[in-house]
C-alpha cells in the first residue's frame, strides 16, 4: 500500500500534469504512479524509497550521474553571484566562459555560439540561421530556401524542427502547418555501405540539379535516435560533407542526442573527421542538470550577419533565458569533468561490454535486431524475426517490456517496439551487467511462453546492484 504522501502526489499529478509523449487515458487508469523524489549516480529513487537504475539517462541527458557534487557546487556558487541576466545587448561571465570552452571542444571551425534552451530550439535556430544567411547575401544566393532532409529524421517538436523531421507517427498530423523539404529515403538502419552510397547518389543528384535553391542538408550524425536507434552507414557523413562543399550547401548536424560523449567521442561528427557549418547541441550539455542548448556556427556564416544597422539583417531571434548563467556554469563544469574524470577513456571498455551483452540478446526469439553506437543502443522486438514480421502497434510490446523492467528496478523508455538503452556515462560495470540482465528477463517475461500474464509479477528476478538498495 503506497504511503499517504505518495497517494497525495499521485492524485495531484493526475489532476494537473499533462505528460509528454504519453497516452493520458492509459496513464490515468494506471494505479501504480511512479513519483521520483531523488537521484544519486545512475540511480533514481521513488517516493517509497525504492531504487531504479536510470536506463535512459532521464531522456538521454544525464552524463556524470544524478547529484554529482561538483555540478551541484558549480550551481550553488553561481547562484550566489548571479541567477539570470539577459543576453540582449549584454554579456554575462558564465555564458562567455562556457562559450569559449565549448568552442575549444567542438569540431574545428565552429567558433560562434548562439544559446537557446532545448534541442528543438537549437535545431530551429540552425534552420533560421541557414535560411537567413543566404537571404543576407542576396542576389542568386537568395534563391537558396530549401533543405534536404532524411525520412525517419527527428529534430524536435517546434514547427520548424518538425518540418525537418520525417517520422510519420510524430509528424504527419501537423503536415498542413509545415514547410516542404526535399526528402531522401534514409540510409540509416543496419549501417549498410550500399545504402549510404544510394543515399549519397540521390542527395548528390539533388544538389547538382537544384543546388541553386538548396540552403542546406540536415542530418543526425551516426545515429537516428528517435527513429529507433538506426545506424548510419560508415562514411555517410564524410560523403555529405564533400557533397555540400562541392555544391555550396550548408551541412547542418543535429548533435542534440549524439553530443557530449554519447557515441564514445565528445561529438559524433569527430568519428568521421567532419566539421559541419552549423551544429545543434542540447540534452547532455549540462550533464542533465538544467535546460540549455546551443547552435554553433562557423565564422563564414556569422560574418553574413555583420551588416550596417539600417539594412536590418541582424538575426532577430532569441529566448528569454538565452545564456542563463546558472545553466552555463553547470555546463562549463560538466565539460571540465570529462577531462577530470577521464569520462571518455573510462567509457570505452563499457561500450564494448554493452555490445557483447546486446549480441547475447539476439539469441532471444523475439529480438529481431540490436543496434549500437557508443552508449546509444536499441533492441528491436519482432513477432517473427525470420520473416521480419513486427508486433501489431496496439499490442504495445515495447512498452510492456519497459514496464516489466520497472518491476525489476530499471527505468526504460521504448520507441515503438524498440527498447532503448541510453544509460548515464558514469554507469559502473556492475550496473551495466544488471541492466542487461533485466532487459533480457523482461523480454522473456513479456514475449516468452508465459507471455503477458507474467507482467503482474513483483521484483523477483535479477539481483539489483548494491547502489539500488541505498
Three state DSSP letters for the chain: CCCHHHHHHHHHHHHHCCCCCCCHHHHHHCCCCCCEEEEEECEEEECCCCEEEECCHHHHCCCCCECCHHHHHHHHHHHHHCCCCCCCCCCCHHHHHHHHHHHHHCCCCEEEEEEECCHHHHHHHHHHHHHHHHHHHCHHHHHCCEEEEECCCCCCCCHHHHHHCCCHHHHHHHHHHCCCCEEECCCCEECCHHHHHHHHHHHHHHHHHHHHHEEEEEECCCEECCCCCEECCCCHHHHHHHHHHHHCCEEEEECCCCCCCCCCCCCHHHHHCCCCCEEEECHHHHCCCCCCEEEEEEHHHHHCCCCCHHHCCCCCCCCCCCCCHHHHHHHHHHHHHHHHCCHHHHHHHHHHHHHHHHHHHCCCCCEEEEEEECCEEEEEECCECCCCECCCHHHCHHHHHHHHHHHHCEECEEECCEEEECCCCCCCHHHHHHHHHHHHHHHHHHHCCCHHHHHHCCCCCCCCCHHHHC
At residue 455, the pLDDT reads 40
Please give the model's pTM, rounded to 2 decimal places: 0.95
Q: In what order do the strands lie in the sheet with 51-54?
A: 36-40, 43-46, 51-54, 410-411
Does any domain span residue 392? yes
For residue 185, give the CATH number of its domain: 3.40.640.10
At residue 459, the pLDDT reads 58
Where is the domain boundary, 313, 340, 367?
Answer: 340
At residue 454, the pLDDT reads 42
At residue 468, the pLDDT reads 54
How many Cβ atoms from other residues are within 10 Å of residue 143's Cβ?
Answer: 15
DSSP H or E segment with residue 120: helix 119-137
CB hemisphere CA count around 188 (13 angstroms): 27
Same domain, 312 and 392: no
At residue 456, the pLDDT reads 37
What is the C-alpha separation between 95 and 81, in angstroms, rounded? 13
User: Which residues of the chain have a pLDDT value below 50?
Assistant: 452-457, 469-470
Does any domain span residue 268? yes
For residue 362, give the CATH number of its domain: 3.90.1150.10
Same domain, 235 and 324: yes
Same domain, 251 and 360: no
Cα angle for residues 123, 128, 132 (degrees, 5° grid): 150
Does any domain span residue 358? yes
Same domain, 291 and 334: yes
Q: How far is CA 27 from CA 22, 202, 228, 291, in A?
A: 7, 43, 23, 26
Q: Find the domain containing 371 and state its range.
A: 34-64+342-469
At residue 466, the pLDDT reads 60
The answer to whether 298 and 114 are in contact (CB under 8 A) is no
How many Cβ atoms from other residues are within 10 Å of residue 195's Cβ?
Answer: 18
Same domain, 80 and 158: yes
Where is the domain boundary, 321, 340, 359?
Answer: 340
The answer to whether 254 and 220 are in contact (CB under 8 A) is yes
Same domain, 53 and 88: no
The answer to whether 87 and 318 are in contact (CB under 8 A) is yes
At residue 243, the pLDDT reads 98
| Phi, psi angle pair for 454, to nearest 5° | -75, -5
How many Cβ atoms from other residues are within 10 Å of residue 53's Cβ?
Answer: 26
The answer to whether 422 and 377 are in contact (CB under 8 A) is yes
Does any domain span residue 109? yes
* Residue found by looking up cell 529481431 in the block: 368
Same domain, 265 and 226: yes
Same domain, 359 and 458: yes
Number of domains in the chain: 2
The answer to whether 71 and 287 are in contact (CB under 8 A) is yes
Does any domain span residue 29? no
At residue 458, the pLDDT reads 52
Nine-digit cell string for 173: 498530423
At residue 470, the pLDDT reads 47
Residue pLDDT, tens place only, 12-43: 999 999 999 999 999 999 999 999 999 999 99
Same domain, 101 and 178: yes
Same domain, 129 and 169: yes
Closest C-alpha among 286, 429, 266, 258 to residue 339:
266
The answer to whether 34 and 406 are in contact (CB under 8 A) is yes
Q: Where are the beta strands (DSSP E) in 329-400?
A: 367-373, 376-381
Does any domain span residue 9? no
CB hemisphere CA count around 229 (13 angstroms): 27
Where is the domain boundary, 340, 367, 391?
Answer: 340
The answer to whether 144 and 214 are in contact (CB under 8 A) is yes
Same domain, 363 and 378: yes
Q: How far is CA 262 from CA 161, 215, 431, in A?
A: 22, 29, 17
Does any domain span residue 91? yes
Same domain, 160 and 171: yes
Does any domain span residue 21? no
Amino acid at each position: 500500500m503506497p504511503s499517504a504522501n505518495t497517494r497525495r502526489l499521485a492524485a495531484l499529478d493526475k489532476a494537473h500534469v499533462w505528460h509528454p509523449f504519453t497516452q493520458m487515458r492509459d496513464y490515468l487508469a494506471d494505479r501504480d504512479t511512479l513519483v521520483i523524489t531523488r537521484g544519486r549516480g545512475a540511480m533514481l529513487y521513488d517516493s517509497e524509497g525504492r531504487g531504479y537504475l536510470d536506463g535512459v539517462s532521464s531522456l538521454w541527458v544525464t552524463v556524470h550521474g544524478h547529484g554529482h557534487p561538483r555540478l551541484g557546487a558549480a550551481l550553488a556558487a553561481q547562484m550566489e553571484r548571479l541567477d539570470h541576466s539577459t543576453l540582449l545587448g549584454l554579456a554575462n561571465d558564465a555564458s562567455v566562459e562556457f562559450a569559449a570552452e565549448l568552442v575549444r571542444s567542438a569540431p574545428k571551425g565552429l567558433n560562434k555560439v548562439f544559446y537557446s534552451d532545448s534541442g528543438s530550439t537549437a535545431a530551429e535556430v540552425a534552420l533560421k540561421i541557414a535560411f537567413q544567411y543566404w537571404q543576407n547575401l542576396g542576389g542568386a544566393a537568395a534563391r537558396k530556401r530549401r533543405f534536404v532532409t532524411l525520412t525517419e529524421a527527428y529534430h524536435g517538436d517546434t514547427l520548424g524542427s518538425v518540418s525537418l523531421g520525417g517520422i510519420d507517427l510524430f509528424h504527419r498530423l501537423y503536415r498542413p502547418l509545415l514547410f516542404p523539404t526535399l526528402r531522401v529515403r534514409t540510409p540509416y538502419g543496419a549501417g549498410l555501405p550500399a545504402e549510404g552510397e544510394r543515399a549519397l547518389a540521390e542527395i548528390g543528384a539533388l544538389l547538382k540539379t537544384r543546388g541553386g535553391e538548396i540552403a542546406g542538408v540536415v542530418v543526425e550524425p551516426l545515429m537516428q535516435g528517435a527513429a529507433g536507434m538506426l545506424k548510419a552507414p560508415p562514411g555517410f557523413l564524410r560523403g555529405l560533407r564533400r557533397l555540400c562543399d562541392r555544391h555550396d550547401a550548408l551541412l547542418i548536424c543535429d548533435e542534440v542526442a549524439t553530443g557530449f560523449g554519447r557515441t564514445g567521442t565528445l561529438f559524433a561528427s569527430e568519428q568521421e573527421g567532419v566539421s559541419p557549418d552549423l551544429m545543434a547541441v542540447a540534452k547532455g550539455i549540462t550533464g542533465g542538470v538544467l535546460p540549455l542548448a546551443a547552435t554553433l556556427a562557423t565564422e563564414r556564416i556569422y560574418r553574413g550577419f555583420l551588416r550596417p544597422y539600417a539594412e536590418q539583417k541582424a538575426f532577430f531571434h532569441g529566448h528569454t533565458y538565452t545564456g542563463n548563467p546558472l545553466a552555463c556554469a553547470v555546463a562549463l563544469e560538466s565539460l571540465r569533468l570529462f577531462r577530470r574524470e577521464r569520462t571518455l577513456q573510462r567509457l570505452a571498455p563499457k561500450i564494448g561490454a554493452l555490445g557483447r551483452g546486446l549480441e547475447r540478446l539476439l539469441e532471444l526469439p523475439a529480438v529481431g535486431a540490436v543496434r549500437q553506437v557508443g552508449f546509444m543502443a536499441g533492441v528491436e522486438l519482432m513477432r517473427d524475426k525470420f520473416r521480419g514480421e513486427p508486433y501489431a502497434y496496439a499490442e504495445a510490446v515495447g512498452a510492456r517490456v519497459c514496464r516489466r523492467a520497472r518491476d525489476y528496478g530499471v527505468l526504460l523508455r521504448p520507441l515503438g517496439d524498440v527498447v532503448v538503452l541510453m544509460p548515464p556515462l558514469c554507469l559502473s560495470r556492475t550496473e551495466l551487467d544488471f541492466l542487461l540482465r533485466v532487459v533480457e528477463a523482461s523480454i522473456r517475461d513479456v514475449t516468452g511462453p508465459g507471455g503477458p500474464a507474467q507482467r503482474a509479477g513483483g521484483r523477483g528476478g535479477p539481483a539489483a546492484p548494491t547502489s539500488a538498495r541505498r
